[in-house]
């Protein structure tokens, strides 16, 4: 098992999860985070830290597609190891439907 980040993270990008990860397996895109599935040690400490409920175990329905999504972008984006402020408007976008189609960016993060 591994944990994945799904589209609930898009346009919010809370980074509370990053601080508790013992293996630094989070990677930062312009407007979301992903978990490298081969680096995740399945400890689960990140899941309850996410205010947007975007971190889920890969055993849940719909999670399989997110494993490959997380793998793809974790190999393209820089690792993130320190907490940052969420994106502007994160609270308003928290829980919004269709964020993958509306807001997702393939650009790497880490420039702030």
Q: CA separation (Å) from 103 to 14, 18, 30, 68, 97? A: 15, 22, 10, 19, 11
Q: What one-character-per-residue DSSP string does 52-92 give?
A: T--EEETTSTT-HHHHHHHHHHHTTSPB--S--PPPTTHHH
> Whats the size of the chain, residue-wise?
112
Which residues touch 88 (CB under 8 Å, ≥6 apart)?
none
Domain positions in the chain are 3-86
Query: In whole angstroms, what is the distance from residue 46 CA to residue 17 CA?
Result: 5
Is the whole model's pTM more than 0.75, yes or no?
yes
Domain 3-86 - what CATH class?
Answer: alpha beta
Q: Which residues of the chain have pLDDT under 70?
A: 111-112
């Amino acid at each position: 098992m591994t944990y994945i980040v799904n589209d609930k993270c898009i346009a919010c990008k809370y980074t509370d999860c990053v601080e508790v990860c013992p293996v630094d397996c989070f990677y930062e895109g312009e407007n979301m985070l992903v978990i490298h599935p081969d680096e995740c040690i399945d400890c689960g400490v990140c899941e309850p830290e996410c205010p947007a409920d975007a971190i889920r175990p890969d055993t849940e329905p719909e999670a399989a597609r997110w494993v490959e999504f997380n793998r793809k972008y974790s190999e393209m984006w820089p690792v993130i190891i320190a907490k940052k402020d969420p994106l502007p408007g994160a609270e308003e976008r928290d829980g919004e439907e269709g964020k993958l189609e509306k807001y997702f960016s393939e650009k790497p993060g880490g420039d702030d």
